Amino acid sequence: MKKNTLVYWIFALTLIVTVLVGCKKEEEVKPSSEQNFASAQSTIDILAELEVISNMASGFGDSDPSSGKINKTTASARLNRMMEEECGTFTYTKNEAGQRIYTFDYGTGVVCDSVSFKGKITFVVTTIENGFEVAVPDFNGYTENGRTYTGSYVLTITRIDSSRQQVAKYNNASVTYEDGSQIKWSSTHTWSYKLDVKENLPNGGTSYSPSVTSTTGEISGINKKGTAFTATIEDPILTTKSCNYHKVSGNYLIETEGYSNAVLDYGDGTCDDKATLTIDGVTKTITIK
């Protein structure tokens, strides 16, 4: 009887210690407020990377299908810079399928307008019904300011009357930084807008641009710390011409493994470079790059 009692108390004591140690471990791994905000910020930095290739790809919407020339007036400043003679080698070809192929080759490295480029990037433009697709099938070691890209990218643009829709998809994309750190992601984002603003050009022509652009979508991947994350647009993100197409409203829900959820809110329509980041009821104002 005494032996059974002893065994009972040993078992009970072991169970209590196990529970206490387990509770202590749970308390130890719970991230602090600062760690939660740092984790969310790492995802926000990744969101900025999404726009690098999209800004270039969208410029091919104004290319001449017959000559391969790109309208330098409406193409992005980044794309214009890449076409300058001192910025590596720019070539254009057209294959038997009618696809237009634009290749930017920077070899072992060049510096153009204070931006360093290396490697090669190719854009393949395919005409589709009511629009076209711009694909980057492989980044071929393309590096910009020390950031090396891999993966694939497709931008699909459809046009119906004055309405436009752009759908950008990254598949197994990654960026490796000079310090060896890396981010990985796959994403789909959709921009919807109407060309409802008419402007007269100095040469006598006219141009049309959207007054408002609405963005929806989602991204998931691995951040610099090797942690899985997902960022989903809950309320469409709006950019306006009157604010030089900066984000003025809408929000992302950011979910990161092991950390508290965060809400990135771009505001109530005010034109500025600010957004709020809210985690566990605590809100901070941040500057958007």
Range 285-289 average pLDDT = 89
Range 105-116 average pLDDT = 86
Among residues 105, 103, 100, 106, the alpha carbon closest in space to that of 61 is found at 100
Mean pLDDT is highest, among 81-90, 149-158, 190-199, 231-240, for: 231-240
Distances (CA, A) of 94 to 99, 167, 183: 6, 24, 34
**Residue 227 reports pLDDT greater than 80:** yes
Distance CA 150, CA 176 (A): 9
**Residue 24 reports pLDDT greater than 80:** no
In the prediction, which pLDDT does 52 show? 82
Q: Are 187 and 170 in contact (CB under 8 A)?
A: yes
For the chain, the distance separating the N- and C-terminal CA atoms, rounded to the nearest angstrom, is 73
Quote the mean pLDDT of the chain: 85
Range 164-186 average pLDDT = 94
Q: Are 121 and 104 in contact (CB under 8 A)?
A: yes
CB atoms under 10 Å from CB of 223, counted, come to 22
In the prediction, which pLDDT does 66 show? 46
Q: Are 106 and 129 in contact (CB under 8 A)?
A: no
**Residue 73 reports pLDDT greater than 50:** no
**Beta-strand runs (E) in 177-242:** 182-194, 197-200, 206-209, 212-222, 228-240
In the prediction, which pLDDT does 72 show? 47
Strand 247-256 relative to strand 262-268, pairing: antiparallel
Residue 101 belongs to what H/E stretch?
strand 100-105
Range 227-247 average pLDDT = 96
Range 181-186 average pLDDT = 95
136-149 pLDDT tens trace:
998 999 999 999 99
The band of 5, judged by pLDDT with boundaries at 50, 70 and 90, is low
Distance CA 112, CA 110 (A): 6
Range 104-126 average pLDDT = 89
What are the residue boundaries of the structural domains of the chain, listed by start?
Answer: 34-287
Q: Are 33 and 279 in contact (CB under 8 A)?
A: yes
The band of 250, judged by pLDDT with boundaries at 50, 70 and 90, is very high
The band of 205, judged by pLDDT with boundaries at 50, 70 and 90, is confident
Backbone angles phi, psi at 39, to 5 degrees: -65, -45
33-64 pLDDT tens trace:
999 999 999 999 899 888 888 877 877 755 54
Range 199-211 average pLDDT = 85
The band of 86, judged by pLDDT with boundaries at 50, 70 and 90, is low
**Residue 3 reports pLDDT greater than 60:** no
96 by Cβ neighbours in 10 Å (0-12 / 13-18 / 19+) ranks as exposed
